[in-house]
Amino acid sequence: MPPYKAGLKRKVTSDKKSDNVVEDKDSSSDNEIEDLLQGDLDKESDATDSEHEQEDDGSDGERDEVLFDDSADSVLEEDPQSEESIDESSDLSDSEDNESGDSADDDESQPESDEEQSADSGAETGTAPSASGSSDESNKKNQILKNENEKSNIKQASTKKKALKQRQKKKMSSIDVLASKIQEAKVSTEPVQQKDEYESGDTSDEEDRVNTAGEVPMWWYNEYPHVGYDLDGRRLIKPPQRDHIDEFLKKCEDPEFWRTVRDPSTGQDIVLSKEDLQMLERLRQSRVPSATHDEYEPWVEWFSREVLATPLRAFPEHKRSFLPSRSEQKQISRIVHALKMGWTKTRKQIADERKKKKERQFYNLWGAGGQVRAPRSLPAPRRALPSHAESYNPPPEYLLDRREMKEWDKLSETPWKRKYTFLPTRHASLREVPAYPRYVRERFLRCLDLYLAPRAIKMRLTINAEDLVPKLPSPRDLQPFPTSEVLRITGHEALVRSVDFDPSGQYIVSGSDDGTVKVWETSSGRCLRTVRLGAAVARVAWTPALGLSLVAVALGRRLLLLNPGADIGAHRVAADTDALLAEPPPAHDVLMDERTSSCVQWEVVDAEQWARGVRVAVAHFKPVTHVAWHARGDYVAVTLAEGAARAVVVHQLSRRRSQLPFRRAKGLVQCAVFHPHRPLIFVATQRVVRVYDLVKQELVRKLQTGAQWISAIAVHPAGDNLLVASYDRKLVWFDLELSARPYQTLRLHGGAVRALAFHRRYPLFASAGDDRYLVVAHGMVYNDLLQNPLLVPLKQLPGPERSGELCVLDVRWHPAQPWLLAAAADHTIRLYA
């Protein structure tokens, strides 16, 4: 038997003898005990037996009893220190230790086996004890002699055994030496007690050894005694490495070897649990890893199919989010056109074609022949029916007179310019009608037309013209609105440039090129006051603040704030206005930067101007063309002609200072208007309207009007819509919540549009220009953002007579009534109601 097979694993039960058994303290649940027999012990016993057989046959039983006594085996099995020493030691002196242990055990067990030894000694010497019984002294002496002989024999056997081993080692080859080491090695058969790493939770953070090497390849640590570092920065020492023989022995010894894997990051052996093996088995069968997972559990509807009545957000959707996508519309139109032309086919058509190709085709034996599909016949175009002039007896009015005959003769060289292709002639009867000389030629041309003229089927659209016209409400349902002229006010000597109502609507202020500003009573048209300023007035605007009595007047390069007087309106309001403007503000509030002070200068009003009603005067470096008040009445926006970056100036009355909101010129500014509620300002250049935020000082939106030259703008009282007028006869409506493009473009005038205005209370707006009509339209803006504004032209009011190229220069609505006021170029002011 080869020596390396002496260490193979054998299974023995607990009923066998204890001399060949090492008890497994951590046995499995089925009470099976696995043991590794000591190969070197068997080898030693064989050697000693052979020696004693050569020397003396009579002493074999005695020596075998000493070497393989029960007490000697119990030393290997029960002594824990000897087990630890056996596991830790790796030298080849295990047999010597066993022999010394056996001798010690023999000395202890000597009193228990006196009878056996005496019997053996008697058998060996050939003498037996006497039946009469010898004395005790002789027995003791014989026993001492026997013990001494046994000890000397054991020592001699051990020395002989060592000498024999040395001689054998000299003669052994490398393979025999390796086999002897395997036999002499004493391996503990305790199975590996590996802690279940998933017992306390399937998380890697709770493991004892955690390697924090990360994505570093493990072959970097091949030359080092450690494999990485733990969370505290300590080295993780490599466990003892095993070669192929150790792996083979471990496979024989460890019953859990078949489910043991090695962790490459720490080098530890990990025993897979029952749950891990089940999971691997399910993965190999292409099943779900977890056995508790139900693949066919009922579906849980997290989102209901019912549409909620309330939105998910606190603010409504933007208007432009409801517009259809232009790109998607174009793409769909291309697909529809391709389907109509037959360039592409639907999936159903492709499937039907494939199905027809797969069907078997049979020849119609009894058919009528080849079924050739003839092209669709198109009827020839019909000739026009003959007129009365082609009759053989036409009426007299169709016959040519002398003048017409002269023209007929003149066009002989260009016959295609004649009225008829033939000469109408009267005959008494049909028999007298001669043959037509051009009959053959006309028939030939007719045949050419039928042969060469392309013909195609015309797709006629059965669309009613009324369906194309949008359904608009009747103007009777949109009343009230002005329908006629009720008052004509005269008194100016030149054309009236601008008019305006006071906040109550009781008075009218007007400015003219004759250099006067007049205040009129609305109900009667009586002139209450005239202020002569000595220069043409470009613009007048009454402040919207009810607590002030001020009129802004654009007079050349100056901006004047007038108080109409105590007899106009409430006298207390006029007195409070004078008291407010009489005291100058503190000096630190009046300070302005150099750029502003170079173009704006606040003047001191003298006594003469104060007596005429002038309370504040501001001088500019360019002529003033437009004036607009803020809704609170403290700010005034002034537009200067050709002012470039300084074309818009904002004045604050309470502090008597001015501001230039822009540093760069974006174009030729036409006018600037404040937003009615928000801190925004609308600046209209020649073609574009820009919206600026005065608080953030940034551009909010840029509106592309599509007009060639903007003349005026007006903001809806709600602030969400804007109306732009242009000199190229357009009215452009913008929905600021919808898009930067025009919502609708109206062409209601035959000339340039110079003025427009919104009503504060009613959904009305009016426009006027160089044509003789004032257009009143209905412009309803709904609170529902999903509904677009409704624009309906209502009435064309007859305007004044033209004065040169001008007709109406300004329009204003009454604050409370649907009355319209117009400043005419014929020196009059007209009120429509």
Total Cβ atoms within 10 A of residue 637: 21
When pLDDT is averaged across residues 668-680 and rounded to a whole number, the result is 92
Q: What is the pLDDT of residue 546?
A: 85
- Name the token pair of 676: 């009615």
- Name the token pair of 490: 């005269």
Pick 87 or 663 by higher pLDDT. 663
Q: What is the pLDDT of residue 186?
A: 46
Q: What is the pLDDT of residue 95?
A: 39
Closest by CA to 722, choosing from 743, 708, 707, is: 743
Tell me how far apart the alpha carbons of residues 245 and 248 are, in angstroms, rounded to a whole number: 5
Q: What is the pLDDT of residue 35?
A: 39
Predicted confidence (pLDDT) at residue 704 exceeds the cutoff of 50: yes
Q: Which range has the worst mean pLDDT, 163-167, 369-373, 449-453, 817-821?
A: 369-373
Tell me how far apart the alpha carbons of residues 824 and 755 are, in angstroms, rounded to a whole number: 11
Residue 425 main-chain phi, psi, to 5 deg: -135, 145
CA 129 and chain centroid, separation:
112
Tell me how far apart the alpha carbons of residues 204 and 201 are, in angstroms, rounded to a whole number: 9
Position 306, amino acid: E
| Planar angle of CA 470, 472, 475, nearest 5 degrees | 150
Q: What is the mean pLDDT of the chain?
A: 77
Written as one string, the DSSP assignment of 427-461 is: -SSGGG----TTHHHHHHHHHHHHHHS--------
**DSSP code for 704:** E
- Name the token pair of 270: 């990990």
Residue 577 main-chain phi, psi, to 5 deg: -65, -45
CATH match for 480-832 among 2.60.40.1080, 3.30.70.100, 2.130.10.10, 1.10.287.130: 2.130.10.10
Provide, for the chain, the percentages of residues in helix, strand and coil under a 3-state DSSP scheme, each rounded to the nearest 5. Answer: 30, 20, 45
Percent of the chain with pLDDT over 90: 26
Instruction: Dump pLDDT digits (tens) for 282-334.
Output: 999 998 898 888 888 888 777 777 776 766 677 777 777 778 888 889 999 99
Predicted confidence (pLDDT) at residue 197 exceeds the cutoff of 80: no
Strands (E), 551-697: 551-555, 558-562, 600-603, 614-620, 624-629, 635-640, 648-652, 657-659, 671-674, 680-684, 688-693
Q: How confident is the model at residue 344 (pLDDT cuts 50, 70, 90)?
A: very high
Q: What is the pLDDT of residue 373?
A: 59
Instruction: Dump pLDDT digits (tens) for 606-650.
Output: 888 888 888 888 999 899 999 999 988 889 999 998 888 888 999
* Residue in the structure block whose two tokens are 């659209």: 461
Predicted confidence (pLDDT) at residue 52 exceeds the cutoff of 70: no
When pLDDT is averaged across residues 687-699 and rounded to a whole number, the result is 91
Q: Cβ contacts of residue 115 below 8 Å, gap of 6+?
A: none
Tell me how far apart the alpha carbons of residues 61 and 48 are, in angstroms, rounded to a whole number: 12
**DSSP code for 806:** B
Q: Which range has the worst mean pLDDT, 83-87, 374-378, 537-541?
A: 83-87
Tell me how far apart the alpha carbons of residues 754 and 831 are, in angstroms, rounded to a whole number: 18
Position 763, amino acid: P
* Residue in the structure block whose two tokens are 């006309």: 442
Closest by CA to 486, choosing from 208, 174, 830, is: 830
3-class SS string, 332-352? HHHHHHHHHHCCCCCHHHHHH
**Half-sphere exposure (Cβ direction) of 154: Cα atoms closer than 13 Å:** 24
Q: Where are the domains of the chain?
A: 3-118+140-184, 208-284, 480-832
Predicted confidence (pLDDT) at residue 23 exceeds the cutoff of 50: no
Burial class of residue 88 (count of CB atoms within 10 Å of its CB; 0-12, 13-18, 19+): exposed
